[in-house]
Chains A and B, each alone.
Chain A
Amino acid sequence: MTLAILDYGSGNLRSALRAFERTGKEVLLTSDYEVALEAEGLVVPGVGAFAACMAGLKAVRGDQLVRERLALGRPTLGICVGMQIFFAHGLEHGSSEGVGIWPSTVEKLEAKVLPHMGWNTVESAAESSLFKGVEGESFYFVHSYGVTESCGATEAWTSFDTRFIAAIEDGAIAATQFHPEKSGDAGLHLIKNWVSTL
């Protein structure tokens, strides 16, 4: 069984590929709907603005893909803007619709300096599988937008002037605002945790 990283034209996928390969799984970069649907685990990366990312996702029918995997109970992990586009709306570069798994809107963070760039710790939930063994560790964030209201799932939070969601675990779907593939050993550990839930 394999992992698939959805390739929809977004940035640096090489490190993500290698980081997920560290788990011992076979990892494919793909934009093929069927391959991504059948994968044991699907990773949805994301770099750039919400609107552009969502347009790229739609171009490979990624929105439908994520919903179908969710309906089938197949694990999917969104990273950074790949997490943001799972929400209903985003306000970066104009208002646009997301995949709509969670109802919130992704808004510009209220902070003196943006982007929120660098290593921050998170407050994870006791029942979290993702953060098992890395509860107090730092993870690498690069973003200016975020979600500041709870969506009622298992959530990890962090703050940078404002409190916002750092990660979500909600049944078959999980997502991180930070980049686990850029978060050193702690990030690799979190990736292993996710893969072990597949």
Chain B
Amino acid sequence: MTLSVRIIPCLDVTDGRVVKGVNFTNLIDAGDPVEMASLYNSEGADELTFLDISASVAGRETTLDVVRRTAEQVFIPLTVGGGIRSVEDVNRLLRAGADKVSINTAALARPELIAEIADRFGSQVLVLSVDARRANTESGFEVTTHGGRQSAGIDALAWVEKAIQLGVGEILLNSMDADGTRAGYDIGMIKAVRAISSVPLIASGGAGTQSDFAAALDAGADALLAASVFHFGTHRIGDIKGYLDHHGYPVRMTKAL
């Protein structure tokens, strides 16, 4: 009886379609998030994350429909992030079938939003997404906005501590330095956030080789999120889990029932 580490594929969705190229040949429609979600579920994903990057109101409505259709077919936890500004946005997503929501920019602009969401729906529905990079701040890590291009002017560890006090149930830590490099997770950053975090920690950004996943777990991550290495077929979820299982990490191995 050991809690398994979680492997979480993340799909960028806009106007109801998966954005980043997907390199699977066995899909009827590689741009359909529902079909992708179903495939990842069958491959052993422990949770799914949709990041809504739609720029328009109509695009966000379409995302609600994608969430509805996914929740009706895929029976593992679904987190949805992107563009969430209010308690009502959260309510709509949860009612559509999301189990958790992740917030980022809106919480930086108005931290009380964290407490408002946690009070209404419970901390367990709320993931704080932190885009952080190395910088000359007190902890050596700062929060960024605009996809890592701008400093938010806040120390990353101070922000995580404050957000936990306000009621977030989980931290999604994105390394903006490592993101897209496939050179490995930012191990120092994971260790630093783990040391001050009493809630589960999801690491993201930089996954390249199978051993990168293990290194992030050694640093204290409870879950690992990745996008491109799964979408481009560099790694299959089952292979990563097989590797981790072989090296003694607790993973959920699915079998046909």
Contact = CB atoms under 8 A, between A and B. Distances in A.
Interface of A: 11-12, 14-15, 18-19, 47-49, 112-123, 133-134, 137-138, 140-144, 157-160, 179, 181-189
Given A185-B254, A186-B257, A47 B46 contact: no
A91 to B, nearest CB: 15
Candidate in A47, A140, A183, A184 with the most chain B CB atoms within 10 angstroms = A184
B197 to A, nearest CB: 8
A120 to B, nearest CB: 5
Nearest to B194: A113
A118 B6 contact: yes
Given A133-B257, A187-B75, A120 B169 contact: no
B98 interface: yes
Interface of B: 1-6, 41, 46, 68, 71-73, 75-77, 94-99, 121-125, 169-170, 197-200, 222-223, 252, 254, 256-257
Contact of B1 (A14, A114, A122, A144): A122
A15 B4 contact: no
3 closest A-B pairs (Cβ-Cβ)? A14-B97, A48-B122, A138-B252
A83 to B, nearest CB: 15
Contacts of B4: 118-120, 138
Given A19-B75, A118-B5, A138-B4, 5 more contacts: A15-B71, A113-B197, A113-B200, A115-B170, A140-B76
B97 A114 contact: no
15 contacts: A47-B122, A47-B124, A112-B198, A114-B199, A118-B3, A118-B46, A118-B200, A118-B222, A119-B3, A120-B3, A133-B257, A134-B257, A138-B252, A140-B76, A158-B1
Contacts of A179: 77
Given A15-B75, A116-B3, A184-B75, A189 B257 contact: yes
Contacts, number: 112
Contacts of A117: 124, 169-170, 200, 222
A20 to B, nearest CB: 11
A18 B71 contact: yes
Contacts of B197: 113
Given A119-B6, A182-B76, A12 B124 contact: no
Contacts of A122: 1
B122 A12 contact: no
A38 B17 CA distance: 43
Contacts of B169: 115, 117
A119 B252 contact: yes
A122 B122 CA distance: 25
A113 B199 contact: yes
Q: Looking at B2, B75, B94, B95, which has the most chain A CB atoms within 10 Å of its CB?
A: B75
A143 B125 CA distance: 11
A184 B169 CA distance: 22
A160 to B, nearest CB: 6
A141 B2 CA distance: 12
A12 B3 contact: no
A103 B124 CA distance: 26
A118 B223 contact: yes
B68 to A, nearest CB: 7
Nearest to B98: A12
A162 B97 CA distance: 31
Nearest to A163: B1
A120 B254 CA distance: 13
A115 B124 contact: yes
B199 A18 contact: no
A14 B125 contact: no
Given A14-B68, A115-B124, A160 B3 contact: yes
Nearest to A52: B122
B76 A14 contact: no
A15 B76 CA distance: 9
A115 B1 contact: no
Nearest to A133: B257
Given A12-B95, A118-B200, A158-B1, A188 B75 contact: yes
Given A11-B94, A47-B121, A114 B198 contact: yes
